[in-house]
Structure 1
């Protein structure tokens, strides 16, 4: 695992940063500057805030760059510091602290010629106070794979249906009224179908009972006498009365169910936009010719007979 980790780190882009790039990067905000460094060294494959290794790597390079800028290094010297920091990190991963100090002395000869003695001493002191002091922590981060704890959950997302054109839109009160009325009408249709099925079953049951009564009468036909006939009449009358009462109860229950549904539909508040309710519209009564003639006679008053005058009566006598 150590060898694979080291190879992966060595495979990082080794292109040296330029003084122009470092100047631009240093003038950016901290977050933007870190992102620029991560992009240059190809560390942005995973978000630096969620990946500990890349985050520490970028912080190490950015911290060395900022320290050099604050100490007044020239831009080409700051670029050399960043390039040296990347090389140092790659060479010392997986090594002991003693070997890392030896590697620092070996690869810093070229850096000394660029920074000169004063700046090299400042940078070396900073490296030993930071990287070398916390060397074990850096080794822990770069030598061992970190366990990534990220939530993973599946969620079904329902895409909203395309909106209807504005000409097909309805006010909320109208939509609610039509929806409620449609539900009532569907319930009415279901109850009507159920009532028809019940009526058919009741009719078949009634016919079967009537057939049983007639069959019973035919069986007792041989033993007819006054008492038997009287008993048969009373029994038959009782059975037919029971059938009639049951039929009336069923009809009353059906009528009550219809009335309840109609009352529920009538009591449903109707929006003004739909106009007056159609439930009170009455069909005009069609009159027959005979009824029309009688109506005219009732409307036209009869002429009253006026009493004749005395002169007319005397003239008639003459």
Structure 2
């Protein structure tokens, strides 16, 4: 059970409903809960919140409002799992217990309130309090696509010019990607060459001050040279392929025709100028 003070009830009443319910959760020292997944704490919270609202609207002093909340909460839990007749007997005993804590008029108003709310839906409250709820819930995360901010009308262009600019931009981006890919490939091949040469030298395993014959030295140099040439050949082939791809993109740019711009001069202006020339003649 959670005892509320008179000041607590006053604070709840001063807030809007949702804010008041949230504040009441803090006052009751409950943990946060999801009302969609767990109905029980949400219904109990509404039950206590409505008691505060009812008592305050009936003119209960704030200490009496707190006592009314305590009465309602105790009744709720003490009647859990009981029949209607047992619950009514429990209500009678509760009234006798609180006859010296609450003014008789206020107690009568509270009983009438509980008869019209709690006992009117008694079986529903019992179902919520006593039955475990099996949750079968599927959650979908929906991504909301926010529309792009519309540009100013003064920056607008014709559809043909927009398509032309879009094609040129796409070709330029593809060209930049090829260049960036070539830079990354050069770095990869450089690292590969260094690693292969390092492994090759480690495999030789020369002894200190060992004299190497000329024939063996030539074989070592030739092998190291072949490693470097293999990497260089692969790099050169890639550079040639990339160069042709970039050249193809540049050619595509030249084949796209720029839309003809329309004259900004209006027909009215042309007619006026023609008319003036006629007058001069």
Which of the five TM-score ranges fits, normalised by the shorter chain?
A: 0.5 to 0.7
Q: Is the contact made by 2:171 and 2:249 (CA closer than 8 Å) also made in structure 1?
A: no
1:233 matched residue in structure 2: none
2:176 matched residue in structure 1: 178
Q: Is the contact made by 1:177 and 1:268 (CA closer than 8 Å) also made in structure 2?
A: no
Counterpart among 13, 26, 44 of residue 26 in structure 1: 13
* Unmatched tracts of structure 2, length 5 or more: 143-168, 185-240, 255-281
1:183 and 1:264, CA in 2 relative to 1: closer, same or farther beyond 3 A?
A: farther
1:118 and 1:262 map into 2 onto residues whose CA distance is 93
1:64 matched residue in structure 2: 51
Deviates more, 1:261-270 or 1:84-93: 261-270
1:262 and 1:47, CA in 2 relative to 1: closer, same or farther beyond 3 A?
A: closer
Aligned length: 171
Question: TM-score by structure 1 length?
Answer: 0.47
Counterpart among 80, 97, 111 of residue 98 in structure 2: 111
| Rg larger in structure | 1
1:267 matched residue in structure 2: 251
1:263 and 1:91, CA in 2 relative to 1: closer, same or farther beyond 3 A?
A: closer
Counterpart among 115, 129, 133 of residue 128 in structure 1: 115
1:268 and 1:184, CA in 2 relative to 1: closer, same or farther beyond 3 A?
A: farther
The DSSP-based 3-state class of the residue aligned with 1:267 is helix
Q: How does 1:238-249 map to 2 (within 5 A)?
A: none
1:94 and 1:42, CA in 2 relative to 1: closer, same or farther beyond 3 A?
A: farther
Taking only aligned residues, the RMSD between alpha carbons, in angstroms, comes to 3.4
Counterpart among 128, 142, 145 of residue 132 in structure 2: 145
Counterpart among 27, 39, 45 of residue 40 in structure 1: 27
Structure 1 residues 112-152: Cα deviation after superposition (integer angstroms, max 9, x where no partner): 32331211111111111111111111001111011223335
1:266 and 1:52 map into 2 onto residues whose CA distance is 66
Structure 1 residues 70-121: Cα deviation after superposition (integer angstroms, max 9, x where no partner): 1111000000011111111110001111111111111222433233121111
1:57 and 1:175, CA in 2 relative to 1: closer, same or farther beyond 3 A?
A: same
Counterpart among 35, 38, 42 of residue 55 in structure 1: 42
1:154 and 1:30, CA in 2 relative to 1: closer, same or farther beyond 3 A?
A: closer
* Unmatched tracts of structure 1, length 5 or more: 1-13, 156-170, 187-256, 271-318
The DSSP-based 3-state class of the residue aligned with 1:145 is coil
